[in-house]
Amino acid sequence: MSRSERLLDLVQILRRHRRPVSGRTLAGEMGISIRTLYRDIATLQGQGAPIEGEAGLGYVLKPGFMLPPLMFTDEEIEAIVLGSRWVAKQPDKRLAAAATDALSKIAAVLPDDLREDLDATTLLVGPSSASVEAIDLGVVRQAIRNERKLGFLYRDAGGATSERMVWPFALGFFDKVRIVVAWCEMRQDFRHFRADRISHLAATDIRYPRRRQAMLKEWKATLDKPGQNPPKDATG
């Protein structure tokens, strides 16, 4: 591994830690000596990286730092392109456009040789067989970000329609359908709503009383806990 690659790896590791992490922990993750770790920290700080802390106290990287130029391995480039191409084919038009724009921005700051690799990748995404939603998924994503309630009509598998007010906190993208994961006020439980069965979607300015991160954690626990029934779909 070259020194530049090692410095980039150190930045990536620091990004994963939200709290100060000791030099010995960082050195252990990277497989280098503590002395080399201290030199690398000093080098990054000298290049403008906002790394706070000192030996014996731990280090933390302040959010928002980018180390130009962007450097990626061949597999990282393939993962970026494949993921972006998949998102670009989703029916969420705003998210699809954002994926294309993001890939263009990444290409603009890559060195010439890596930009050629990005353009020439041979990993392709097949045609979509997805169902078409009648709602704007961008509205759902905005409600999740802002922790706002959503109202809509929902048609279950049997064709019965019910009015729902939910607290959305996740949106699942599958090959054929998109799933809104939310707390349902009518059922007083977590429910999964197929986006193609939602109509008359209405965004509200009502903030739901819990944090989405807490609900996401609780919902995941219902999936992982042995012997506990998973959350039901919206027919329940």
pLDDT of residue 104: 86
Mean pLDDT, consecutive 10-residue stretches, the chain (236 aa), reads 77 85 91 92 86 85 67 80 89 89 80 75 76 87 96 94 97 90 96 95 96 94 69 62
pLDDT of residue 46: 85
Residue appearing with tokens 């049997």: 158
Phi-psi region of 66 (alpha: psi -120 to 50; beta: other; left: phi over 0): beta
* C-alpha distances out from residue 108 to 66, 102, 192, 234, Å: 15, 10, 39, 44
pLDDT of residue 55: 77
* C-alpha distances out from residue 215 to 117, 132, 142, 210, 220, Å: 41, 28, 17, 7, 8
Do residues 4 and 40 lie in contact, with contact meaning Cβ atoms separated by under 8 Å?
no
Total Cβ atoms within 10 A of residue 99: 19
Quick one: tokens of 38? 């201290």
pLDDT of residue 153: 97
Per domain, the residue ranges of the chain are 3-61, 74-120, 137-233
pLDDT of residue 124: 82
Q: Is the pTM of this model over 0.75?
A: no
pLDDT of residue 165: 98
Alpha carbon distance 234, 181 (integer Å):
10
pLDDT of residue 170: 96
The CATH code for residues 3-61 is: 1.10.10.10
pLDDT of residue 202: 97
